[in-house]
Amino acid sequence: MHRRLWLIVVALVLALVPGLFWLFERRLEHSQDPVILEAARRYQVEPALIKAVIWKESHFDPRAEGRSGEIGLMQLMDPASQEWASAAGVYPLPAAHLYHPLTNALAGTWYLKKLLERYRRTDDPTPFALADYNAGRANVLRWAKGAAATNSAIFIQHIGFPGTQRYVRAVLQQRERYRGQFGPKDLAGAHP
């Protein structure tokens, strides 16, 4: 009898663990929504895109640190954050401030908007901007030759780093998933 009761308890625990994990993930996934919406409104960038970048870069952890010195939600490097700080009138920005979710999201979204504007003459600037965000402008210029210079689908195929290609595809796919989480007022005037 004891053994049967023990098996029932173990079965219940095993059944509950995935549900608890799902609840934790769902809560984590929405933990930065107010910050994302503030950055989206300020810089007119689609909140679903910002959220997808944060998902890929830090999985919503404002204390995340990359191997090459990237910091926070959007995994910013010092040059990009200082460029934003100068434009925002808060230069110099101490690196410790990039752990603050709103500061990081504002700086990262400003930088992402700058990249989106850089590729605005393409059919869809988003894949180009994401590749630039991940691998840098010099690499994007190498991959954006011929038809790939303006056609985003061809450009994605020409991305020379498999990791960057996976990055771009993952962020684009996640953006589609997140689009349903934001209402029309959240998207008003935002860059796709």
d(CA 49, CA 56): 11
Active site positions, annotated:
57
| Residue with tokens 């689009």, as numbered in its chain | 179
- Eight-state DSSP code of residue 91: P
d(CA 170, CA 176): 10
Which residue, among 118, 121, 110, has the nearest Cα to 39 in the 3D structure? Answer: 110
AA letter at 67? R
Burial 119-135 (b: 16+ CB within 10 A, else e): beebebbbbbbbbbbbb
Which residue, among 79, 80, 71, 77, has the nearest Cα to 98 in the 3D structure? Answer: 71
Q: Which two tokens stand for residue 52?
A: 């997808």
